Structure formats: structure tokens, C-alpha cells
């Protein structure tokens, strides 16, 4: 009778350990797949020549704003444990998606949160950069030569918008949108 109980307990214990190992191995596999399919980190460049040129072109009316609004990125960055504002957005874009760490499941969870969020929010930059001003009040991602996503720090949070170049056929004095061009 004691032998049957010992064998039963051993079988249950080995089954539980086997199930646990299988679960963790599958979790690691899913993690690795998610990280490999997620957008990679993008570098941050402060006061790049491209940003300076954009500033001049926006001031001359070459670009126009098509969409603009507060996105709630401040709350999202805070929930991810990052700074607020353009500095936090830079941290978000720069965050390296770490490989699975068997001993730090909290870091794995944070990495998954950031990877999933970036997959839904981050446009693919044409040059692989997030261009920011020296005071971290303004940042842009050049999606294409004539399409730019911008982020501007305001008192109430981050203001997001899209800039496009004006076409030759558009009237420079004509207001295509109700949005003022950003000042940076």
C-alpha cells in the first residue's frame, strides 16, 4: 500500500513538473516570436539637419497639418514606467526588446507590454530615427519624404499630428485644414 501511494505521488509530482516545464517553454517560444515580429527600437537624434530643414520648411508654408490631437500617450508612457513627454516617448522608441530572462519575469512582462504597444503605435521611420529638438519639446518621425508624424509637448500632454507636403496644385494661402502648423 505504501508503495502504491509513493508511486502515485511520484507520478503526480512528475506530471506537475512536466506540465510546468512545458508551459514555461511554450511561454518562452511565444515571447521569442512576439519580440521577433515587433518593431525594433529606433534611434533618437537630437537637432538633426533633417529636423532643422523641416523647421524651416514648416515656417515657410511648405508643409501642412492634416490631423492633430492629444493621444493620451502621457498616461500610456506612465503605465509603462517611462517618463512623460517627448523624453518618455524617446525612451519608448529606444527601448531594447530584451531576450526572455528565466529569472526576471517582471522584465519579460514589461518587454511584452512595450512590444505590443509599439506594434500598435509606432510608425516605421524611413530613416530609422526619431528626430527631437534639444529641449525635448518636439519630435518627428519621417515616414516618407512627404509624410511626417509629429509629437509636441504641451501643458496638457503630448499633441500628435501628421504633416504632409503641399502639392504643386495646392494654393499656399488656402487653409487645407483647421490646424495651425506646429512651432518648434
Domain count, the chain: 1
**Residue ranges, the chain, pLDDT below 70:** 167-178
Is residue 130, in this structure, part of any structural domain at all?
Answer: yes
pLDDT at 45: 96
Is residue 82, in this structure, part of any structural domain at all?
Answer: yes
pLDDT at 16: 87
Residues ≥6 apart with Cβ < 8 Å to 148: 54, 63, 140, 141, 142, 162, 163, 164
pLDDT at 157: 86
Is residue 104, in this structure, part of any structural domain at all?
Answer: yes
Is residue 21, in this structure, part of any structural domain at all?
Answer: no
pLDDT at 91: 95
Domain span at residue 79 reads 38-165
Amino acid at each position: 500500500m505504501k508503495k502504491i501511494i509513493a508511486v502515485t505521488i511520484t507520478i503526480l509530482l512528475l506530471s506537475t513538473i512536466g506540465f510546468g516545464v512545458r508551459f514555461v517553454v511554450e511561454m518562452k517560444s511565444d515571447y521569442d516570436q512576439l519580440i521577433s515580429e515587433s518593431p525594433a527600437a529606433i534611434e533618437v537624434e537630437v537637432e538633426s539637419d533633417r529636423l532643422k530643414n523641416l523647421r524651416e520648411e514648416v515656417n515657410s508654408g511648405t508643409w501642412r497639418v492634416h490631423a492633430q490631437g492629444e493621444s493620451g500617450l502621457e498616461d500610456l508612457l506612465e503605465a509603462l514606467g517611462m517618463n512623460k513627454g517627448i523624453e518618455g516617448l524617446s525612451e519608448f522608441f529606444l527601448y531594447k526588446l530584451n531576450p526572455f530572462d528565466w529569472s526576471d519575469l517582471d522584465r519579460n512582462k514589461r518587454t511584452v507590454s512595450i512590444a505590443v504597444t509599439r506594434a500598435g503605435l509606432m510608425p516605421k521611420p524611413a530613416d530609422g530615427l526619431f528626430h527631437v529638438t534639444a529641449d525635448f519639446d518636439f519630435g518627428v518621425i519621417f515616414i516618407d519624404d512627404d509624410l511626417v508624424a509629429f509629437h509636441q509637448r504641451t501643458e496638457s500632454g503630448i499633441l500628435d499630428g501628421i504633416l504632409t507636403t503641399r502639392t504643386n496644385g495646392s494654393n499656399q494661402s488656402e487653409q487645407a485644414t483647421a490646424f495651425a502648423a506646429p512651432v518648434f
